[in-house]
Structure 1
Amino acid sequence: MDLNQAYYLVHVVDKKGFSAAARTLGIPKSRISRQVKALEDTLGTRLLNRDSRRMSLTEAGEAYYRHAKVALECMAAAETAVRQDKDALEGTVTLSCSVGVAQFALGRILPRFLAENPRVILQIQASNDFSDLISDGIDLAIRGHFKLLPDSGLIHRRLTEVPWHLFASPSIAQQIGPSGSPADLDGLPGLTLGWRPGGNSWSLQGPDGANASVPFATRMRSDDMVTLKQAAAAELGVVALPVYTCAEDVAAGRLSRLLPKWNAGLPEISLLMHGRRGNPPQVDALAEFLRREMPDVMNGVGG
């Protein structure tokens, strides 16, 4: 079977004429005519009845057209499948982030990226200590920061800003009330993120540029957000955490936000990666996915 000849015949029939087929394919009408005639000669039968004004399929032509069209569609589908397989992302991506980002943000969105890219393998290094992308072989890193990150030769891509709020048990929230002020926090114990000493005050930003610093006595100190949330729900104190880490607990009634008009910080979240060129395609694809999905999930919207 000469696929070119079959291809031309199918186009002539589909376009209802040699002239229309020639215009669609962008080739001379004479070439199509010669190819169809050569096909008829090979088969030893006429496939088309044609005169100067009309064209129709013979009985043999109808049978040939029906099978040829199916064969050509199958060939096109096979070619598409091979190209898609060739273009599919494949390989490993190593991503560094904090434990909280891994638990409360990435865990909600990365399954979708992996489902869309079944040949990609993700290695997530979740740690509250910063990793060195070069020496540790990291492809991408998600970093939260209040100040500009130092110039390291890496590409910094801003993802979003994440508000931190004060959270406590519903009973403590009821004591303060929805219209409370920072002064109402006086005497309440604090639950501190991070195991190192220090940080025994809440720095709050309120309406109209107002600022307040509220000291507290630390009741518990931990670098694990889950532990701190459980302690807050158990009425052990007040904790400052990113909004995305407590959204489900607030919805379930385990925690309540204190001082709704005040924030406990607004750090920026950035994506760090190596140079703009030369990254494997699976790394660039994950970077673009994170830039698209992280803003919503880290502000308690998507996921």
Structure 2
Amino acid sequence: MNETIQWNDWEAFCCVVEQGTFTAAAEQLDCPKSRVSAAVARLETAIGAKLLERTTRRMRLTDAGKAVYRDVAPLFARLREIRQETLAREERVQGVLRIATPYEFGAQQLGGVICRTLAAHPALDVAVEITQGLVDPIRDGFDVAFVVVDTDLPDSGTVARRIYHVERGLFAAPALAASLPAQLRPEDLANMPTLTTPGDTVWEFTRDGQTVSVPIRPRMQTHNAELRLQGALAGLGIARLSVIYCEAEIAQGRLVRVLPDYPLPPLRVFALLPDRRLQPRKVRAFMEAIESMMVSELEPEAGLDGGMGAEAAASGQAEGAARTAG
């Protein structure tokens, strides 16, 4: 191959193909049209084959041109990505960061992180929307969406980052607990009043590797953990709540744990981000603050996996996250 060929010649050829005309390619590359034409001619000479068939009305790729473009275009696309990644790392933290979160997690866990992030970046604004259930950050236009689930997340075009495992239990006021059968079994709950989240019709329990599903009869249904806690304290029913959330009431004798030998599936808190390789600097700054929060609040014995990506990057029990949907 002729040694006078330049990298820019390859780029000019790809740009002509992508833009459709030499004029548009020259505007895209911010150079004279004559330079683009010379670059393509130089490339054709070096390769020894015609790459483009040109008339006054139209332009098309030859077979050789198609083969060259197929092989070369992905390389320049990746170079452009690298350039954008480099620029993104240096860009200022600014703009509006849109966050979706359940109420308790936003108020009790994210509040401090958001305030610290805003204080550190004066050009950044934050808009927080209270949501429930699974949120699609791509469809709904959020930069970060926090969700609390007790099942696996469905497949989607989002990246799930940072997971808490939150232990849950059943709790009742002492008077109601005293009225329960001495040898209480999960199946007995089918005829008892319960305090649940909306849509709950079945509670699952595990013991000795076996899962038991029990239909329940809700007296109160709400996503708000504090309301369920107040209902349990008032003796209105058996509530499913985060264990740490109820510690103070248990210590004061105001609540009793029910069926402690039958573990419940834990709650998990995910941060969902749009599935894109180039995260804006504002998102990276906020997620770095979230990671710092998690490191400080994970139990000492819990591990923290530094890997990021489509899988959850950390697990453990966190007191703050326990004060979410319960």
TM over 0.5: yes
Give the Å deviation of 1:121: 2.6
* Bigger Cα displacement from structure 2, 256-265 vs 134-143: 256-265
2:152 pairs with 1:152: no
Partners of 2:214 and 2:238 lie apart in 1 by 12
1:230-249 equivalence runs, <5 A:
230-243=230-243, 245-247=245-247, 249=249
Instruction: Please list, as runs of the form range in 1=range in 2, the aligned pairs for 1:1-303 lying within 5 A after superposition.
Output: 89-107=93-111, 109-173=113-177, 181-182=185-186, 185=189, 187-194=191-198, 196=199, 199-206=200-207, 208-243=208-243, 245-247=245-247, 249-250=249-250, 254-294=254-294, 296=297, 299-301=317-319
Question: 1:78-127: per-residue Cα shift (whole Å, max 9, x none)?
Answer: xxxxxxxx987443211112223224432465444444445533221111
What is the alpha-carbon distance in structure 1 between the residues aligned to residue 162 and residue 195 of structure 2? Answer: 29
Q: Helix, strand or coil for the counterpart of 1:131?
A: coil
Tell me if the contact between 1:178 and 1:260 (Cα under 8 Å) persists in the aligned partners.
no
TM-score, normalization by structure 1: 0.57
Q: How big is the shift at 1:284?
A: 0.9
Q: Distance in 1 between matches of 2:246 and 2:109?
A: 11
How far apart are the structure 1 equivalents of 2:127 and 2:153? Answer: 24
Instruction: Name the amino acid aligned to 1:201.
Output: V
Residue 128 of structure 1 aligns to a residue in which SS? coil
Aligned-residue CA RMSD in angstroms?
Answer: 3.5
- SS in structure 2 opposite 1:293? helix
Which position in structure 1 is the counterpart of 2:41?
none
In the alignment, the residues of structure 2 paired with residue 103 and residue 185 of structure 1 have an alpha-carbon distance, to the nearest angstrom, of 32
Moved more, 87-96 or 163-172: 87-96
Aligned to 2:221, the other structure's residue is in SS state: strand
C-alpha distance 268-224 of structure 1, shift in aligned 2 (>3 A): closer
Cα distance change, pair 245–116 in 1 and its aligned pair in 2 (3 A):
farther
In 1, the alpha carbon distance for the partners of 2:251 and 2:128 equals 28
Secondary structure in structure 1 of the residue aligned to 2:98:
strand
Q: Give the residue type in structure 2 aligned to 1:277.
A: R
**Alpha-carbon distance, 1:139 to partner:** 0.1
Query: Is the partner of 2:137 in helix, strand or coil?
Result: coil
- 1:230: Cα distance to partner? 1.3
CA–CA separation in structure 2 for the residues paired with 1:156 and 1:268: 11
3-state SS in 1 of match to 2:156: coil
Alpha-carbon distance change, 99 to 188 in structure 1, aligned in 2, over 3 angstroms: same
Whole-angstrom distance in 1 between the partners of 2:229 and 2:115: 25
Query: Relative to 1, partners in 2 of residues 1:268 and 1:222: Cα closer, same or farther, differing over 3 Å?
Result: closer
Contact between 2:136 and 2:158, CA under 8 Å: does it hold in 1? no
Q: Deviations over 1:123-148 (max 9, x none)?
A: 21111144332243200111233444
Deviations along 1:223-277, one digit per CA (max 9) or x if unpaired, are 3322222111110001113345545554565434323333322243322112453
Matched residue SS, 2:285: helix
Where structure 1 has 5 or more consecutive residues not aligned to the other structure, the ranges are 1-85
Distance 1:89 1:178 in 2: 59
CA contact (8 A) 1:189 1:237 kept: yes
Q: Distance in 1 between matches of 2:155 and 2:92?
A: 34
Which is worse superposed, 154-163 or 100-109?
100-109
Within 2, Cα distance between the matches of 1:142 and 1:180? 36
SS of match in other structure, 2:138 = coil
> How many pairs does the alignment contain?
214
TM-score normalised to structure 2 length: 0.54
Aligned amino acid, residue 214 of structure 1 = V
Larger Rg computed on CA atoms: 1
How far apart in 2 are the matches of 1:116 and 1:157? 23
Give the whole-Å Cα distance in 2 for the aligned partners of 1:122 and 1:244. Answer: 29
Contact 2:99-2:143 within 8 A present in 1 as well:
yes
The amino acid that maps onto 2:212 is A
Helix, strand or coil: the match of 2:110? helix
